[in-house]
Structure formats: structure tokens, C-alpha cells
Amino acid sequence: MITKELLKREIDNVQDEYLTPLYKIIKTFEYPDDLDNIEFEDEEDDHKKKDWLKFIDKFAGCLSDTPIERRDQGYFETREEII
């Protein structure tokens, strides 16, 4: 099992040139408590990103009580073979 401590130790082995991409990857897995206080690097996309996060939070959360289920495929008629 991978623990936070193991990840922290491995970060010391990452080359400096990869620290920025690694940081961005780690930030994508954080879930903010307050979507209004998120800070983004590019200010012009700030509004769009906040709206997108609010949309995902609102609609993805609504499925927690009734998860999506795949039903039986059903019956499909057999047609002539294509040769």
C-alpha cells in the first residue's frame, strides 16, 4: 500500500525540472472545502474553472444516492451475415 509518507520520501528523488508538473498533478487530486476560494495561476481562466468545479460538484454529487446502473442489454434480432 502506498502511504503519504512513502510519497513524501519519493518526492526527494524527483528531478527539479519535474517539480512543477508533479505539483500540478498533486493539486488535481485535492478537493477544496470552499470552491470560491480556489486560486488559479491564469486569472483569465479563473472564472471558467470555478464554474466548472461548481458544476461538477453539484451534478456528480447528485448521483451518490442513486448510482448509475447498467441494465441488461436486451434482445437484438439476428440479421443476415455480411460476406
Please indicate, yes or no, if residue 50 is contained in any of the structural domains: yes
The verdict on 38 and 16 lying in the same domain is no
Both 20 and 40 in one domain: the answer is no
Instruction: Decide if 47 is inside a domain.
Output: yes
Per-residue pLDDT of the chain (83 residues; tens, 9 = 90+): 888 898 899 999 999 998 888 888 888 777 665 555 555 556 666 777 778 877 777 776 666 667 677 788 888 888 888 87
Dihedral angle of Cα 72, 78, 82, 83, to the nearest 10 degrees: 120
SS (H, E, C) the chain: CCCHHHHHHHHCCCCHHHHHHHHHHHHHCCCCCCHHHCCCCCHHHHHHHHHHHHHHHHHHHCCCCCCCCCCCCCCCCCCCCCC
Q: Is residue 11 part of a domain?
A: yes
In this predicted structure, what is the pLDDT of residue 64? 65
pLDDT at position 81: 83
- How many domains does the chain fold into? 2
Residue 76 belongs to some domain of the structure: no
Q: State the pTM of this model.
A: 0.37
The whole-number pLDDT of residue 13 equals 92
Domain residues for 13? Answer: 1-30
